[in-house]
């Protein structure tokens, strides 16, 4: 049976930190699904379709990576996709509490899959989508944090926002 792993997140936008997790996790499974969650509690900068486009463009070179979006609970999506695993990146100790709570809650809801954590490469351990958005807002250089197509899209968004 095909071993499918889900990499869920907001990816608003995708950073080099996410790319690093994708590149390493895809080697461990037959298929890695980057799954964008419709997050009702977060005010997103990019629409789901924009995020799908960006991630697809950046991961197109990887044969076993697909991109999708889901509504509702992650555990239901994992079941629907017949996945055996969920992967999340751990950047710093500060991520641990949130990740631990999510993984254990998910296991209580459905114990038929495992959550695994990959340590983000030390070069990217301090990068977050929120930080990138704040930097670009104030004119900071984000080229070390996000791939060029993402930087381009961020600048486009900012331009549109400023024009409004």
Q: Interface with ligand PNS includes 13 (CB under 6 A)?
A: no
Quick one: 8 or 136, whose CB is closer to ligand PNS?
A: 8
Q: Interface with ligand PNS includes 158 (CB under 6 A)?
A: no
Sheet (strand 85-90) strand order: 65-70, 31-37, 4-9, 85-90, 114-119
Quick one: 10 or 120, whose CB is closer to ligand PNS?
A: 10
Q: Which of 3, 38, 42, 161 is catalytic?
A: 42
156 CB-near residues (< 8 Å, 6+ apart)? none
CA pair distance 35, 49, nearest whole angstrom: 12
In terms of Cβ atoms closer than 10 Å to its own Cβ (0-12, 13-18, 19+), residue 159 is exposed
Known catalytic residue at 129? yes
Subset of 76-95 contacting ligand PNS (CB under 6 A)? none
Known catalytic residue at 91? yes
Q: Interface with ligand PNS includes 106 (CB under 6 A)?
A: yes
**Which one of residues 5, 6, 10, 145 is an interface residue with ligand PNS (CB under 6 A)?**
10
């Amino acid at each position: 049976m095909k071993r499918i792993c889900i990499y869920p997140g907001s990816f608003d936008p995708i950073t080099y930190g996410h790319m690093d997790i994708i590149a390493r996790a895809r080697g461990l499974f037959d298929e890695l699904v980057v799954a964008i969650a419709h997050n009702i509690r977060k005010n997103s900068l990019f629409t789901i379709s924009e995020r799908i486009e960006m991630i697809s463009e950046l991961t197109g070179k990887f044969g076993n990576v697909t991109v999708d979006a889901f509504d509702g609970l992650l555990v239901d999506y994992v079941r629907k996709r017949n996945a055996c695993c969920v992967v999340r990146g751990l950047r710093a100790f500060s991520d641990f509490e949130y990740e631990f709570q999510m993984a254990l809650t998910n296991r209580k809801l459905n114990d038929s899959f495992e959550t695994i954590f990959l340590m983000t490469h030390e070069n990217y351990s301090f990068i977050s989508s929120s930080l990138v958005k704040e930097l670009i807002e104030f004119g900071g250089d984000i080229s070390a944090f996000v791939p060029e197509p993402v930087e381009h899209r961020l600048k486009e968004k900012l331009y549109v926002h400023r024009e409004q």
